Each structure stands twice: as C-alpha cells, then as structure tokens.
A and B are shown apart, each in its own frame.
Chain A
Amino acid sequence: MNEKERESKRLFLKSILYGSLTALSAAILYPIFKFLKPPQQTEVEVSSIKAANVNDLEKDSGIIVRFGNKPAILIRNANGDFKAFSATCTHLDCTVQYRKDKGIIWCACHNGQYDLNGRNIGGPPPRPLEEFRVVIKGEEIFISKNV
C-alpha cells in the first residue's frame, strides 16, 4: 500500500468515525429536544360560552370569566349595555380589569389603559383587546368569538 492509498484510507475511516459520532449525538439529542417541546393539547376550541346571567352584573361593573382556558372580561356599562373582550393584555400578557372610578379597562402590570371599546388609549399596550360578541338570550349572557 503506498502513501497515497494509506492517506485516502485514513480519510475514509475518519469520515466514518465523525459521521457516526454525529449520527449518535443526533440520535440522542433529537428525542430530548422533542421531549422538551410540550405536546399540542387537543383542546376543544371554545368558540362560545355562557358567561353570566344578566342579574349578575350591576350597571357600571365588570367581571372576569373563563373563555376556554383563557380569561375574558365582561363589562356592563353605565347604560346597561354589555361588552366582552379578551382579558389578556396585549402588552405582556397580564389580566386586565374594569376600573369603575375611571370608566376604563385597566391593566395593573404597567398601567395599560383601554377604553370601553377595547381600544388601547394609554400606557404600553400596542394593540386593542380582541372583542367578543355578546348575545343575550333571555336572562343568560353568551359570549363568542367574532368571526
């Protein structure tokens, strides 16, 4: 075997070695990464819920209700009309609340403010709150995603 052949043989063995080392680490790391990624829960997409009864809310007040596994805010304004929004602040994910004294939707985390149409009117929130549709059937208030 001459020098050249030996050289190419060495190269061949080396690439097999590194190749299999790479394959081995991939075979170990891939399942770990996949394991750490939380599985997509097949939740039933909620599109509509019964939020409350009309009598649960006085005029000029608001409550947080469960919309699937996210919070939503249901508001009854001074005229007695109902409005509903996603209660997740568009800034950094805190949960908003109704501020009676100012008549606004308020986020305590960084003093974010929204008017009663869900528009961001002060503080850091970059976008308005997502609005939900409110349907009243007799005594019951239903809210659902706007489509």
Chain B
Amino acid sequence: MKNYIQNLYKWIDERVQLQSLVEFMGKKYVPVHRHSIWYYFGGVSLFLFIIQVVTGILLLMYYKGSEDLAFESIHFIMSKVEFGWLIRSIHSWSANLFILAAMIHMFSVFFGKAYRKPREVTWLTGMLMFFMALAFGFSGYLLPWNELAFFATKVGTDIAGDIPIIGKTILEFLRGGEDVTGATLSRFFGFHVAIFPGIFTVLLTIHLLLVQRQGMSEPLFIEDEEKYEKKKMSFFPNFLLRDLLLWLIVLNILAILAVFFPWELGTKADPFAPAPAGIKPEWYFLFMFQTLKYIPANIWFIEGEIFGIVLFGIAGILWTLVPFWDRKSFRGERNRFINYVGIFVVIYIILLTTLGWLT
C-alpha cells in the first residue's frame, strides 16, 4: 500500500514538481506571541464557509425556488427527507457562525493593523468577502418564503430604495419589480446559489494565495515588549494540526446548536396578510436597523432614513479603505487613533445590537 502511494506521489511529482510545494509549506512559519489566538479565526471562517458550500449543495437537491413551492419544499426537507432537518439547521446555524467568525477575524486584523503594507489587497478582498457574506445572509433569509422573511425583505429592500438617486433602480433590480413577489424570490435564489458563490470563490482564492505567499502579519511593536522573544511555529504540520483540532471543536459546537436549537421554519408568507409582530433583521444587521430608529424623521432638509444610509455607506467605505488612509501604520509607526476607532465601532455594534435585541 505504502508503495502505491509513494509511486503515485512520484508520478505526480515528476509532472508538477510537488516537492517544491511541500518544501514551501515546510518553510512557512506562523509567529507565536500573545495575540496568536486571533490567527485561528480566518481558518474557522474558511471551515464554516466550506460547510455552507456542502450543506448548500445538499439543500439544492430538494429546494424549489418559486413562490408556490419554496416553503413547501423546505417543509418537505425538514419532515420527509432523512436528516433533512439536520442539514437545514446546520446551514442556518453555520451561516450565522460564519458571519460571527468573519467579524472576529476582521476586527483582529484591524486592531493588529495587519492591513498595512504589503497586505492591502488581502484586506480588500477580505472586506469584499465580508460584504458578500452579509449579502449571502440577506438573500438566503428570504428563500424559505416565510412570513418573517417576507416582511424583513420588504423592509430591507425598501431601505435600499431610499439611497439617493440610484435607489429606485436598485430597488427594482433587487425585487425584480416594484413589490416583493415570486420574482424577488427567483432573483435572490439566483444570487444566493450562483452569482455570489462564483464571485466569492474568486475573492477567496486571491485571499488565500496572498496569505500563503506573504505569510502571517505580526502586530507592530510586539517586539518592544520585554519578555518577548521571537518564537514561531511551522505552518505545516504544527499550525495546520491545531487548525484542524479547532475545526473539530467548531463542528461540535455547530452540531450541538443545530440539534438542540433546530432552526424554525415559521408560517408561509402571505402577501395579503398583515405584518406579524417581531419583524427584525438578522442580528448582523440589527445595529444599523436600530440606529435608523433613533434618527429623527427629518434632519435639516433630508429624510432621516436617507441620512442614516448615507452615513453607514460612508463609514463602510472608510473602514474598507483603512490601509490607504492610515499613513502611520504604513510607515510602521504607532497609530492609537485606529485603536480608538476600532474600540468605538465594537462598542457601538455591541450596544446597538443589544438594544435592538431587547426592544
């Protein structure tokens, strides 16, 4: 048996020089310091994304993306298909954990200023993937075609329609018409299973290639600290094995959540029924949604909602472009301002999310 494997390896190696890849991996090191733990969250996000792809493809075998059949098909998956309830529950839970892990990953990179030269593109691709993850969440939320999702989508797309100038076009583009209907469902289905995964895969490939090529970033000034001596661990196999162990733990958490807190299906959407109480967006949109509630109906001459959207838009753009305006980190100097911004954003998100949750 061993011989066969060796022969196979040799066969491939002769053709594509596998050996150099193995050597490259062997030479790659991961720095070890007291912030090393944050390095794992990128890997966790990746793992959860893989789970999404696998469970998503499985769900596709039974899901029907139309107004009359969507709800029924998921009901069918959950009640008739063996382990259907589990696959769907995992898909929903994993989606949420994925966004959580990606958020932690993003903030750790932000605070470590790992976006500074030469890793600007890694940060940019990461941010784009994060926005895509939110779009994945928003589009996937509608697919079961239940009441909550139907009205949440109405509200969410209506807010998008408030964007100055291009709002109306965006609204019609998203809804596939003036109202949220079966046409919207078809579109969201297409986005969710074809367009987004395609774009995401390209971004992910660039992101991972860059990480492998450039190695892990080390936080600035960690060298100053007295007791710190430069330690490192080889990526292969040491870091990878720890990664895998963590993946196993995450898988267990996921399984526990999916089994003991199965994702509800709710009641089927009826466009001619009043909106039920308790319409809330998914938790990762909650802080923005809650903010809109506090903005007065009119500020100067513009509508409060528009003001809020523009504000969040600008904030998002600034955040994404941080490698290009944080000149201090670029030069390798300490930049406390970035930390204050980061802390403010974290506290703001936690506070507003909690408020949104409680009310």
Number of interface residues of B (CB under 8 A): 27
B177 within 8 A of A: yes
Give the CA-CA distance A96 to B277 in the complex, in Å. Answer: 11
Q: Mark A109-123, 1 if CB is under 8 A from B, else 0.
A: 110000000000000
Residues of A within 8 A of B303 (CB): 126
B154 and A93 within 8 A (CB):
yes
New contact pairs (14) apart from A37-B169, A109-B275, CB-CB < 8 Å = A38-B172, A38-B183, A66-B272, A71-B272, A87-B274, A93-B155, A93-B180, A94-B279, A97-B275, A108-B274, A108-B275, A108-B278, A109-B151, A124-B297
A92 and B277 within 8 A (CB):
no
Number of interface residues of A (CB under 8 A): 24
- If A38-B176, A94-B151 touch, whether A64 touches B272 (CB-CB below 8 Å) is yes
A107 and B275 within 8 A (CB):
yes
Residues of A within 8 A of B173 (CB): 36-38
Jot down 10 A-B pairs with beta carbons below 8 A, ordered by A: A37-B173, A69-B181, A94-B155, A95-B273, A95-B274, A96-B274, A97-B274, A108-B277, A124-B293, A126-B297
- If A37-B172, A108-B279 touch, whether A64 touches B273 (CB-CB below 8 Å) is yes
Q: Which of A122-144 contact B (CB under 8 A)?
A: 124, 126
Q: Mark B145-177, 1 if CB is under 8 A from A, else 0.
A: 000000100110011000000000100110111
- If A38-B176, A92-B159 touch, whether A108 touches B154 (CB-CB below 8 Å) is no
Q: Which of B276-290 contact A (CB under 8 A)?
A: 276-279
Q: Mark A41-72, 1 if CB is under 8 A from B, else 0.
A: 10000000000000000000000111001110
Q: What is the chain A residue whose CB lies nearest that of B298?
A: A126
B179 within 8 A of A: yes
Q: How far does the Cβ of A38 sit from chain B's closest Cβ, in whole Å? A: 5
Give the CA-CA distance A137 to B181 in the complex, in Å. Answer: 33
Q: How far does the Cβ of B7 sit from chain A's closest Cβ, in whole Å? A: 48
Q: What is the chain B residue whose CB lies nearest that of A69?
A: B179
Residues of B within 8 A of A92 (CB): 154-155, 158-159
B313 within 8 A of A: no
B271 within 8 A of A: yes
